[in-house]
Amino acid sequence: MKILVAMSGGVDSSVAAAILLEQGHDIAGVTLRLWGGESDSGCCSVADVDDARRVAQQLGIEHWVFNFAEDFDAKVVEPYVDAHAAGQTPNPCIECNRHIKFDRLLRRSGQLGFDALATGHHVRRVRVGSRWALARAVDTAKDQSYVVHMLDQAALARCVFPIGEMAKSTVRERAAALGLRTADKPDSQDVCFIAAKGGGRRTFLGSRIGLHPGRVVDTSGQTLGTVDAIELVTIGQRRGLDAGGVGERRFVVDIDAVSATITMGNASDMLMESVDLKGLVWASAPVLGPVRVQSSAHGLAVRGRIDDSRVTFDEPQRRIASGQSVVFYDDPSGQIVLGGGLATGSPAELDPSGR
């Protein structure tokens, strides 16, 4: 099989390429140049492109670099900035997977005559009856099914994930045995287009949209204090806010960007019984009924029920920030990805009971 391997410059994609080569596939590596601005971390740095190129040389395979910077800015960076301006909490890595890796790159691989696209994600592609499904990785601590939940049947038919059956420790051992330069390279944890050494998110957003002060109130509307940048606040935040001094712990339960108002409440105010969603995507057909629900990359999957575009939890859960992905897994195993969507609306709207 002719397979294009997305090589980020990390150990996972390096080993994925090595495994496919050992299996006898005709492979080539590609690294995406996504960000033209300053970057000192993540998959957009010059060092990562160089690491990927050097690994390809070690394996004796062809290596290309595709410049998708224009699409990345339009599909990932600009929506990220707009979401913060609207008081939302976006996940740019998910949007990069949605629009760049498993759309633009997947289409480009087909145009170049490749049968499949491989990545170093810790997920598994499995058969469920006559259809493909995305399953959690064997190494549950490294499972990345949450961030690639948007894959449908057409995409799953043309994607392979060579390391989904391996523990992360085994991946590193394999890389070391092969003498790959990425064997001990740390995993990237940061947003790749925000330079951590250059002031981080505050500087990045401030240069794009400016930062604006806001008023901090309690659930009764009484003023508690102020915040210097409402765009940097997220649901559930407790620290770094002028919330009236000592006493019962308070959390951000609502962000109204229009009135520049942040509402803080206690632990019980942080709970919600349901969440409304937009942009629903499904691995196969739409699902109604009992599911497992996960709202963060390594969060606990809890039980709930899908009814159209709303998920109602079996037990009240911590509020989910608008803009965050909510991913559904099969019940009761919680191993197979069914689909997902984006949380929408303010917490007050999400939970009419006012909890």
Cα 84 from Cα 154, distance rounded (Å) = 32
User: What are the phi and psi torsion angles at 166 (to 5°)?
Assistant: -110, 145
Among the listed residues 43, 93, 96, 159, the single catalytic one is: 96
CB 49 within 8 A of CB 65: yes
Q: Is residue 192 among the annotated active site residues? A: yes
User: Where is 169: in which H helix or E strand?
Assistant: helix 168-178
Among the listed residues 43, 44, 93, 192, the single catalytic one is: 192
Rounded to 10 deg, the angle between the 200-208 and 78-85 helix axes is: 90
User: What are the phi and psi torsion angles at 125 (to 5°)?
Assistant: -100, 120
Coil/strand/helix, residue 329: strand
Coil/strand/helix, residue 12: helix
Strand ranges for the chain from DSSP E = 2-6, 26-33, 63-67, 116-118, 123-128, 131-136, 159-160, 214-218, 223-227, 251-256, 261-265, 271-282, 289-294, 302-307, 310-318, 325-329, 336-343
What secondary structure does DSSP assign to 117-137, as a single string? EE---SEEEEEETTEEEEEE-
- In sequence order, what are the beta bridge partners of 53? none
Q: Which residues are catalytic?
A: 96, 192
